[in-house]
Structure 1
């Protein structure tokens, strides 16, 4: 699978400009002939407007679904639409939508681990389910930013059969080393491909660090971005997953009778 990661510099609290830019970047990425294009976290607003967050949100994801359904069908490409600040009937969520080549929204995921350090849990509701889906016959999973710190989540997804993990984020400069190490570790320990897509630029007072990457199951970067807006593209040879698991079979050698997670 050929994947393009769009490391977007969004404009804080300006959905109109962000939707326009997201479409432009998707069209640019499509010229590299990927199978799948991925955007970062909360690209419609930046992370995140604490005041009047509702006024900047996508109501029920309607605008996002309309735009990316049309784009994925027109461009014949799968799209992981990053995530958006999304107001549902029950409250505010941080939501990602996934679209196949035919323009169908095949899955969605509400961020399950909210970043209390920046008060995300005071403004958003927690998602209550994990999400897997198939793109071109390959089983995939998606998580959002802070989720990457919760190894139990990613192991659960891999036990459900995923071979690619998409990580969409707004990860800040001071902890960018954590971003790199955590994504590489999740690829190695779960023997999966990881497409981790961060934003760059400034949202509010926070500077985001880029360094998006496409990582193989050995933890090696196939390609990595810098810290400014750019599109990176690389190829995932899915057959490698089974070969690695046949060589170092951690799934067969696990001792589940000894593990107790509370």
Structure 2
């Protein structure tokens, strides 16, 4: 399974610039042989939250149209990072997953809102687990701040996820936390973790990429630098089962102590 981690800059509050840019990068990733393309968080608008009424994707229509068209044309699965969406009179930070046949197989609204970037003032939190299947492989998808809640990611793995996707807009000021948390989530859950961060700046933050792909044993098998890039990573999915046999963490859990 070849994963394309698409680490890009995001134009603040300008979806009309971001949509064609994302289309270009998805097409480029497919041309490099990717089976699955993964995007960063809030790529359509960035964190221009005060203008969501003007710029959020209403019912995700524009995003879904783009993904369904490209997935069919290019024969790829898309883990759509996340976009700002408007549903009725409420706003969300939403991930869409589209398979290579152009079918929207799942969506997820960010469960843990990040107060330091004012999400709680503008967005509604999601309440649903996000486990889905592509090519008969169970996967899970969460968004950015969610990784600070290990019990939330563990719940996805207990429901069968062997890969966890984490799109983000994680600021450079806390990038050490990003790297350590992603690696810890991979080790403790004995699964692949694919974190895709953005680069560039907005009026309040600088973002320096450091997107990562981490194997179930904890090895960092790819890391992006502080620039736009597409990382193509060939995952050996049998490693999940091999690592879980080596140290049977899930067999040794004491669930009676955790309630």
Where on the TM-score scale, by shorter chain, does this alignment land: which range? over 0.9
Moved over 3 A (4+): none
Deviation sequence 1:43-94 (CA, Å, 0-9, x none): 0011x11322211100000000000100011100000111000000150000
- Corresponding residue of 2:90: 91
CA separation in 2, counterparts of 1:203 and 1:19? 17
Could you report, residue by residue, the CA deviation over 1:115-158 in whole angstroms, capped at 9, with x for unpaired residues?
Answer: 01221111000001011110111000000000010000010000
RMSD: 0.8
Contact 2:13 2:51 in 1 (8 A): no
- Confirm whether residue 238 of structure 1 aligns to residue 237 of structure 2: yes
| Cα distance in 2 between the residues matched to 1:71 and 1:33 | 14
Q: Describe the SS at the equivalent of 1:51.
A: helix
Gaps of 5+ in 1: none
- The alignment covers a number of residue pairs equal to 259
Q: 2:50·2:122 contact (CA, 8 Å) conserved in 1?
A: no
**Residue 60 of structure 1: aligned partner:** 59
Q: Which residue of 1 aligns with 2:17?
A: 17
Q: CA deviation at 1:227?
A: 1.1
- Using the alignment, how far apart are the partners of 2:49 and 2:154 within structure 1? 32
- The match for 1:122 is 121
Cα shift at 1:249: 0.3
Pairing of 1:1-262 with structure 2 (within 5 A):
1-46=1-46, 48-260=47-259
d(CA) in 1 for partners of 2:197, 2:77: 19
Task: Report the TM-score, using the length of structure 2 for normalisation.
Answer: 0.98
**Structure 2: tracts of 5 or more residues without a match:** none
d(CA) in 2 for partners of 1:203, 1:82: 18
